Structure 1
């Protein structure tokens, strides 16, 4: 599993290569998202599955047997899930490469610690992205400290991880992320709208000028943002399920994740920031 050694600096870890530590590496994971997490029959899943029960599509090598056909088989929920690298970290770091099939006695602890590490990895990802913003230099020192602290927690023991108050930790880091966002968006000319936490479900925002806008935690479910200018917009935590992003410009969007893009609809004209990619189900 690619991860930064303890002697590597934050700036080195924040390079694109180091970001691989914050991306799912299914080849080094014991299929934890397919076992530890529950799901219910819905538009996202065709069957019910309880926590701790392996999905029927999980193979002996911990690979998904229908990975290329998930949407065709009704497993849309799987295509929008992102562990942010928690799977391989729990598998290879916390449990030192010994899986739940080899050591059934470790299964329960592994399943319990996986969601905790996932939330920490998500917070680590946002912190790393904030450190990538030159305009946020005034808070880089505090962000580096936060990064180091969170990263150390993800590598701690099972007992320590299960005792972590992730909500409290997020409450401490969020002001830094917010300040980084404000500093980065301040460089965008013109007046910015504030849609933070707004319910924009189904809204018609086709071609809207939303550059530098705060859309933190906004509900954008099934909203029409086709052709919209979302450059430098803050999209942390925005719910983008079925959001129409056809032809939209998301270059420089802050805290945007691949999972958010996977949940939305787009096309070949949609501009996304590097290193994010066009989901395979988007229109050509």
Structure 2
């Protein structure tokens, strides 16, 4: 059992936050959550995804969420909703990306070889970066990157990969939470995401961004190509939560977000800690 602490700063008393309550994964599960520096007003459900979020009112300038992390039961998998295709602009491939993905997978021979080929193709289309403008901003579907490289974060790379895999007929999902590099002693300041595939009963995790950042060469399956620890807190893109008269429609809910004016949702500075076992 471990304690994942997420400290959110830059608040004013009375501010409202929406934070992921966690999920089960093959590795572990969030079994309980407590809040200091604020109060949980209600728990909101994302019915299509089976996820819940905590609606928190800050009492101080800093709010800390403490998630109790327990080992997953034997044979625990990812929730079935991880693999469910949903129709929104973050998940559906544009026609040319669909055609290219099917061609690439078929040329590789289909099956697991097709997955490997699509992972390699996504890796070849990006350089790791955090651009202000994302490659799919303003697009109604995930666009095809036909040549050259595009700067992108783990969010961008995995958006492209999941859309590509699903377009080629594979079961694939987008999972997010936190990764704690071993060299940083169990501390991080932002979220991380990865991709899971399921084919012929084999479930594999893929982390292209870590292979890029660490110079590990072509991406191979595995949760921690970089030494460290990770916790899954949620999955999928396109979330809707209702808290009374307040409606939150979000790309994803990986870190606590503050409700701003005009229905906007803002990220805030965080420090996440997970003591090593």
Normalising by the smaller structure, the TM-score range is under 0.3
The structure with the greater share of residues assigned to strand is: 2
> Higher RCO, 1 or 2 (CA under 8 Å, sep at least 6)?
2
The structure with the greater share of residues assigned to helix is: 1
Q: TM-score, normalised by structure 1?
A: 0.23
Q: TM-score, normalised by structure 2?
A: 0.23
